[in-house]
Amino acid sequence: MSGAIREFDPASGDLAVGEVGFLRAFNESGLITSADVQVARRLSKLSDETAADEVLLAAALAVRAVRTGSICVALETIADLDPDPENPLPWPSTDAMVAALRVSSLVIGGRFGPLKPLALVDSDDGPLVYLRKYFEQEQTIRRILDGRAASRPPVDLARARAAIDDVFAPAAADDGGPDYDRQRAAAALAATSWTTVLVGGPGTGKTHTVARILGVLERVLGGGVRIGLCAPTGRAAAQLQASINDYDGLAAMPVAHTVHALLGIWRDGTVRHGPNNRLPYDVVVVDETSMLSVTAMSLLLAAVRDDTRLILVGDPHQLVSVEAGAVLTDLTDRALRSTATLPPGFADLADLGDSDFSSAEKAQLGGSVLTLTWGYRFGTVIASVAAAVNRGDADEVLRLIEQDCGDRIELVEPEALDDVRNDTVTWLSALRTAGAAGDARTAVTELGAYRVLCAHRDGRYGVGWWSRTIDSWRHAVRRSGPWPIGEPLLVTSTDKRVGIYNGDTGVVIADGGRGVSVAFDKHGEIVTLHPSQLADAMPAAAMTIHRSQGSQFDVVTVVLPPSESALLTRELLYTATTRARKRVRIVGKADWLRAAVDRRVARASGLRGEVTEWSPQVD
């Protein structure tokens, strides 16, 4: 991030009251907040230490790291955080910070007890500093996954072969699918490993594959297999449930829960299932794992029995958890460094040939990670652009867009909104027509035809501005009332009693002269509710890209913010473009698009490699 140092009003709350020490310049620059400063000062006081400036800065940056999504702060690259590199802040050297931390009671403990709120760690990326809570959570993940990888489950290979052959019937020669069946390989990996990490982009068949993996494991493990299904949100759990329900090859039908519900996490923080009361399942599936924070993942892994097959599913290239950590991305990166061999019997069960996986993918297979690559959902141009975005190849992204000439994907200037207006009004008119006729099925079908997606909630490029603009465009088709007929709605609060989840979308329709109702498509079944039955909802002609995760639309208009926006990242662009089944229009400038492709979400973590906590006893 670049730009001039911000001007602050002391009354705004951005400045730490009374702070006149070393941290003041960092606070005034906007790099750290008053809360970061106060926590650092408080930790110093609790540790009975007048902490050195370097230690206070490390503590404040560790607090900032968690607030901004990282697990730790990498000391060798902290100067990269400078808001204004042309007028750099008074950064201490890495050696000076490490030396100060090594003798600080915040790291080694003080005379009043074992309180050590910071952890100093050596890693492949140099010295890292954590708030100790998050270091311990990361270590829990590392320890449990390493322990699970140290052995392989006993498998009757003949029985496993028969199960895979039964579930994955040979594909027809002209079915248009891939030459090599990675879904079958995923089942082979799950049969021969305690942990399987199944990743892939939208439309690669992840949950379709999971259902069939469960069918294989039922056959391999015998009758009475207990299966636990979960996802980070209620909506994601409902989608996982629908995918499992669509497969009729299971003897039993497991029920999907949120991760919190599966673990029995109560509002007071009490957790029912943990290391002393493990989950009672033989197989546990976690969908949308990219949305899990390091805290949630550590709690989940601690609750899974050692002899349970664990299947983690998700897309590591999508936007990550809103809380600290990017666990799925870390695990896929960590597997690239794996030196583990393939599970015994896997190659035979997967019908693995020498060229079916690249050398990097084979390393990941040794680390129990398998990537599905064949897309079944959207056009090849959109898939090619998404792949180029993931590679960070901005030139290729722009070349593909120019070559396509707007057939599947186009880039338009922020002021050239005539086509956006036409498409948006046409869509809203179709919703209005179906809604006025009380035709719920047509209305919800139209709901999935189009959407405007924004990076921000507020400002010129945010949902608020675009919602007001869309309202001005459609005044001719809009009817007065709190929820006009044809209005697309986004539910923002879960109500299990009526089966509606945070993130569900519906459309207002006429209700036979009795007023209006809101129609939802619940995996093929149309559900209608009176607006009063919705705990909270908002208009959804425009929505944030983050909110759109897990959804698909025929056509999307993606509104990019300017290149200086901190939200403009590769993951944001990838997530937005892959929401489209048929066509993508990107509103922005070429340099904004290039900035998005060039900038990855930077979440510091030690989970990708090996780490060693510094201890004065072994220094």
pLDDT 10s digits, 96-130: 999 999 998 888 887 666 678 999 999 888 899 99
For the record, the structure tokens of 462 come out as 């945010």
Annotate 518-542 with DSSP letters as a single string. Answer: EEEEETTEEEEE-GGG-SSEEE-SE
Q: With 80 as the cut, is the pLDDT of residue 443 above it?
A: yes
203 annotated ligand-binding residue: yes
Confidence label for 18 from pLDDT (cuts 50, 70 and 90): low
Q: Are 412 and 585 in contact (CB under 8 A)?
A: yes
pLDDT reported for residue 22 = 82
Q: With 90 as the cut, is the pLDDT of residue 548 above it?
A: no
Give the integer Cα–Cα distance in Å for 105 and 284. Answer: 41
pLDDT reported for residue 4 = 33
612 annotated ligand-binding residue: no
Q: With 50 as the cut, is the pLDDT of residue 614 above it?
A: yes
Answer with the residue of higher pLDDT: 140 or 603.
Answer: 140
**Dihedral angle sign, alpha carbons of residues 206, 207, 212, 218:** positive
Answer with the residue of higher pLDDT: 306 or 483.
Answer: 306
Answer with the residue of higher pLDDT: 335 or 378.
Answer: 335
195 annotated ligand-binding residue: no
207 annotated ligand-binding residue: yes
pLDDT reported for residue 102 = 92
Average pLDDT over residues 467-481: 71
562 annotated ligand-binding residue: no
- Count other C-beta atoms under 10 Å from residue 341's C-beta: 10
pLDDT reported for residue 486 = 87
For residue range 278-301, list pLDDT tens digits in order.
999 999 999 989 888 899 999 999
201 annotated ligand-binding residue: yes
pLDDT reported for residue 539 = 87
| Least reliable range by pLDDT among 13-27, 185-199, 331-345, 422-436 | 13-27
367 annotated ligand-binding residue: no
Average pLDDT over residues 456-481: 79
Q: pLDDT exceeding 70 applies to what percent of the chain?
A: 91
- Please state, rounded to an integer, the average pLDDT across all residues of the chain: 85
Q: With 80 as the cut, is the pLDDT of residue 424 above it?
A: yes
pLDDT reported for residue 373 = 82
- Residue 217 CB burial class (10 angstroms; 0-12, 13-18, ≥19): buried
Q: Residue 249 gets which letter from DSSP?
A: -
Average pLDDT over residues 324-350: 83
For residue range 234-286, list pLDDT tens digits in order.
888 888 888 898 888 888 889 888 898 899 888 777 889 989 999 999 999 99
Contacts of 130 (CB under 8 A, 6+ apart): 62, 71, 72, 118, 119, 121, 138, 606
Q: Strand pairing partners for 257? A: 230
204 annotated ligand-binding residue: yes
For residue range 153-181, list pLDDT tens digits in order.
999 999 999 999 999 876 554 555 666 78
pLDDT reported for residue 619 = 42
pLDDT reported for residue 604 = 79
Q: Are 105 and 50 in contact (CB under 8 A)?
A: no
For residue range 63-95, list pLDDT tens digits in order.
999 888 888 999 998 888 888 888 888 899 999
SS3 277: strand
Average pLDDT over residues 529-538: 84
Q: With 70 as the cut, is the pLDDT of residue 482 above it?
A: no
